[in-house]
Structure formats: C-alpha cells, structure tokens
Amino acid sequence: MNRRAVRIDPVVIRRVLAPRIDFGALRRELELPEGFPPAAQREAEAAAAAPPRPAVDHTDVPFVTVDPATSRDLDQAMHLARRPGGGFRVRYAIADVAAHVRPGGALEEETWRRGQTVYLPDGNVPLHPETLSEGAASLLPGEDRAAVVWTIDLAPDGGTVGVALERALVRSRAKLDYVGVQADADAGRLPEPIALLPELGALLTARGLRRGAVNLPLPEQDVEPDGDGWRLMLRGPGPD
C-alpha cells in the first residue's frame, strides 16, 4: 500500500452564533472544583518556596519545550543528539511535580480527588495549584527544575538499544511552540536541540508503518471566543 503524508489546511467552522455560553453550567454538572482547599494551597506555596533539587544534574543538556504558544504549564522537554558511532540519543524530561507534593498531605489528597487538569474554552481546572503547575514545577526556560528524565538510545535504524530513567535537575533553554517549530522545520532551520526531529521522526514513522501502525491525520479542535459567541477551529496536522 502506498502511504504518504497529507497536510490538512486549517479550517474554521462556526458552530455557535448565540450569546456567550456559560460554561459554569458544565462545571457544575461535572462537579469541578472552583479552587483549592486552603491547606492544599499552603502546601503548594511552601513547596514552591523550597523546590526539590535532585542529586543528578542534567542542566548541561540544552532541553527545549514545545507547547501551544500561550501555555505556562510546561511539563515536557526534549533534546535529540547523534550517538558516537551511529544512532541517536533521545532525552525526554517530564516535570517532576510529584516531588513537590508531600505524601499524605492535603495537596496529595486534593490531586487524587481531581485526577487530571480539565480544559474548558473559558479556562481550565488545574490538577495542581498554578504556583506549581505554571511556576515552580513548570519547565520554564532558564530555570532549574526537578524532572524525571528518560534517556533512550536508538540504533541507526531506529531500534531501541538502551533506556535509562532517573530523577534529575534540568534547565530548559527555550519555550518553543508548535506553529513556530513546524515553520522552522519547513524552512530547514530547527534549533540544535531538535534539529534531528524530521530525520528521526521519519525513521520512527517508517518503522511503525512496517509494523502495521495506523496514522490517522485527525485535526486538532479548539473552541475559541468569537465576539458574543464561539467558533470551532479545526487545525489540520502537518506532514509526518
């Protein structure tokens, strides 16, 4: 079967022309909390004032984050490099928010109750207080942060030859966004930490297709304010 990448151009479909919707009704239906209990908020602020510093130091690795342009809760970062002798090294860091949460405390109890961040068109209901999720635990550029770091070594054909996992201190070098990264990739000017992304992505995509993986180019969907109403924005994915 001939498989090829297909770019879907962004499409805007206007769905709502009525006055602005009150998403508070949806919050009430889903029983979403409006704020954090005072004890949980105090624990978060105390943790932010004295953030953890893991013993392993990877601040020399020039990680970057890639998120929507307006995001502040940056919980993932990456760095790609070639391995001596051939192949690739993928470093993938996840913000270690758990390191800021005291076991058995009020904040842990509240995060178990919430389970996840819920995103709504008029705002979100965060899993953790913003002082952590958008502050002390967020992988903001130029800031030392606790993270869980995967180091994945790949052979020249993309096969995995080694994996390591550790808690470490990291420092992101830049906050990138999806649109900018795609434009830089199209122009052949990706920054060094992710310059190998097109090559490695194509290699891993080809391996997946040989295994029978299915790639569905589904559009990203966003509900955005539009005057007194809302619009549904469908954004097509870029080429693989």
Q: Do the beta carbons of residue 232 and residue 221 sit within 8 Å?
A: yes
Residue 1 lies in a domain: no
Tens digits of residue pLDDT in 95-145: 999 999 999 999 999 999 999 999 888 888 999 999 999 999 999 999 999
What are 94's strand-pairing partners?
76, 148
pTM for this predicted structure: 0.85
pLDDT band at 225 (very low <50, low <70, confident <90, very high): confident
Residue 6 lies in a domain: no
Q: Do the beta carbons of residue 56 and residue 168 sit within 8 Å?
A: yes
Total domains in the chain come to 1
Range of the domain at 98: 11-235
Residue 80 lies in a domain: yes
Tens digits of residue pLDDT in 50-87: 999 999 999 999 999 999 888 999 999 999 999 999 99
Q: Do the beta carbons of residue 169 and residue 52 sit within 8 Å?
A: no
- pLDDT for res 207: 94
Give the chain as a DSSP string.
----------EEEEEE-SSPP-THHHHHHTT--SS--HHHHHHHHHHHHS----SSB-TTS-EEEEE-TT-----EEEEEEEPTTSSEEEEEEEE-GGGGS-TTSHHHHHHHHH-S-EEETTEEE-SS-HHIIIIITS--TT-EEEEEEEEEEE-TTS-EEEEEEEEEEEEEEEEEEHHHHHHHHHHT---GGGTTHHHHHHHHHHHHHHTT-----PPEEEEEEETTEEEEEEE-----
pLDDT band at 12 (very low <50, low <70, confident <90, very high): low
Residue 240 lies in a domain: no
Question: d(Cα 74, Cα 12) in Å, to the nearest integer?
Answer: 27
pLDDT band at 221 (very low <50, low <70, confident <90, very high): confident
Residue 86 lies in a domain: yes
Tens digits of residue pLDDT in 157-204: 999 999 999 999 999 999 999 989 999 999 999 999 999 999 999 999
Residue 3 lies in a domain: no
- pLDDT for res 10: 52
Residue 89 lies in a domain: yes
Tens digits of residue pLDDT in 16-62: 445 567 888 889 999 999 899 999 999 999 999 999 999 999 999 99
